[in-house]
Amino acid sequence: MGIKASPTCVMNFDGATGYLVGEENQGLACMFTMMNDARFQVGLQGLGAAEASYQGALTYARERVQSRAPQGIQNPDGKADPIVFQPDVARMLLTQKSLIEGCRALSLFYAKFMDVEKLGEGQEKEDADKILQFLTPICKAFMTDMGLETTSLGVQVFGGHGFIREWGMEQLMRDVRIAMLYEGTNGIQALDLIGRKLTRDGGQMMEATYNAFNALVSDIQDSEAKGLAKVFLMTGVHPQPIA
């Protein structure tokens, strides 16, 4: 379906000799060390495809002319206006942009705590580890889900051209679809979040993550994003310890 440059195939090891690497019965634990890092990277794959799709769709919408804009003539020297002025096209582009910026903000928030977990000390380091564990399934699932939604919108902005291979938009949609499957399907991410992360250690992971977001909101209350900060604070939601 997609990622055709990747040599993905079935490999048979019939008759091969297996060697124990590391301690017996500890292989799965070692694998998850790699897996959790890969899950964030897969989330970034979703973000990257979404951004590429948005850039292509925005450029096309600015250049493609068809009919007149409902709000009045925007290109008086031409016979038609760019489709970027069509309300439905503008809606799709703004949806793409908002989803991408949200995913990018989430990824930067996550990356910050990767640095803290690696270079920090004491309680700060412990909290960063809890936050990363809590956010890993969220980043992987949300950013790849939004990657598919955004690339689908990119195809839609192009109209029939979006379905044609030479424009490249359909490839972005095909390629990003795998991101919802490998390194643990997004349904598995939901199970991990609800079944493990929310309840572990009486909800300490959720508590640490809430505190981190609350600190961020407090920092931006005097910025242009203060309206969003106010909404967050008005909800009054605070995680309670889980017995």
Catalytic residues: 183
With beta carbons less than 8 A apart as the criterion, state whether 107 and 45 touch: no
Q: What is the rounded CA–CA span in Å between residue 92 and residue 84?
A: 10
CA 109 to chain centre: 12
- The terminus-to-terminus CA distance of the chain in angstroms comes to 45
Of the CA atoms within 13 Å of residue 205, those in its CB half-sphere come to 20
User: Helices 169-177 and 27-63 meet at what angle, rounded to 10?
Assistant: 160
Take residue 107 and report the two structure tokens written for it: 């990824």
Take residue 76 and report the two structure tokens written for it: 């008086």
